[in-house]
Structures are given as structure tokens and as C-alpha cells.
Amino acid sequence: MTTTTYETQTLIGSTTYRLRASADPDLFLEVAGTDTSGLLVAEGNLRLPAGAGGSVGKLLAQVLDALGKLGAPPPKSGRHRPANANQPWTQDLDEDLRATWLAAPPGTSTTDLIRAIAGQLERSATSIRSRLARVGCDPDIAGRPLSPEAAHLLGVQGRHQGEVRGKPDPAQATEG
């Protein structure tokens, strides 16, 4: 009978793992892990019936993965979630958002202003942009109120564009 041997090594973190597997006819697995100084930090041997390799491999993967998660720190989310995410908007917040947006001087970068407001209100830039139309502001041009045509396109008609929850727009109050 022919003996089949497989050898490999891999670096995980600061540990180099060496695996040697052979079949003659049972499966023999030898694992050794050494740190950067060559100190042995992991070792183990398994002897399995020839046909059990795949099934036992899946079982070991599940068990080792579960055990690793028990001792591992919680995974860090790839996305930062603002402190006020999913919090309801208040009338004062809407008024502040509208006032800040409409006070922007001509030529202000829309993206920069949205990011600045998002940071100030501890909300996402996406939530700021979507809220702008609801408070009667054009989310595409800093400092500009939302036109009736744009309100219709954005689906905010009937939300009193130009007004914030029933309070008159100061610009409209001084007109006529």
C-alpha cells in the first residue's frame, strides 16, 4: 500500500503552524505551532479511520471556531453608528437643521455642509440629506429652500415645504 503525505505551513498572527497529514491506511495528522522565537506553543496528533477525514474535519472546524469565538473580543463593526441614529426628530432639531442649511453662504459645498451637520447632530449624512427635504430645504444646493417642483419630485408635497411643523418661514413672514 502507498502512503500519501501532505505537508503545509501557514502564519497566523505571530504563530507559524505546520501540518503534516498522511494516509496509510488510517489518517494521521500532526500539528505544531511555533512563535517567532521558535518556541512550541501548539501541538497535537490525531489518528482517524480513512473514511472519516471529511466529516471529522467539518466537526473540528465547527468546534474550534466556536471555542475561538468564546475567548475572542467582540468583533468591531466596520461602520460607525452615530449616537442619535434612529432617534426621533424633534421640532427643535428640524428648526436647527433648516436654519443651519439656509444660513449657508453661496458656494458652500453641499457634501461638506451635510457632513458637518451630521457630526453636530450625531446623525448619519444620509439621514441629514433625507431630512432636509422634509424641512423645506433643497438637499442638492446648500442655502436654498426647496422649490415646489423639487418637493413634488422628492415626494414631500403636503409637508409644508418652506415651513417647519406649522411655524412660518421667517423669509415668507417678511414678504408681502
Mean pLDDT of 11-30: 84
Q: What angle do CA 42, 43, 45 make, to 5 degrees?
A: 155
Residue 162 has a pLDDT of 46
pLDDT of residue 78: 60
pLDDT of residue 99: 94
Radius of gyration of the chain (CA): 31
Confidence of residue 76 (pLDDT cuts 50, 70, 90): low
Q: Which of 174, 147, 144 is nearest to 161 (CA)?
A: 147
Output the pLDDT for position 1.
59
Report pLDDT digits (tens) over 127-176.
Answer: 999 899 999 999 989 999 998 887 887 777 544 444 444 444 555 545 44
Average pLDDT over residues 40-55: 83
Q: What is the pTM of this model?
A: 0.47
Q: Give the pLDDT confidence score for residue 3 in this predicted structure.
A: 72
Specify the pLDDT at position 163: 46
What's the whole-number average pLDDT of the chain?
81
Q: What average pLDDT score do residues 5-29 get?
A: 84
- Is 80 exceeded by the pLDDT of residue 40? yes
Q: Which residue has the higher pLDDT, 139 or 56?
A: 139
The pLDDT score that the predictor gives to residue 55 is 82
Per-residue pLDDT band at 86 (split at 50, 70, 90): confident
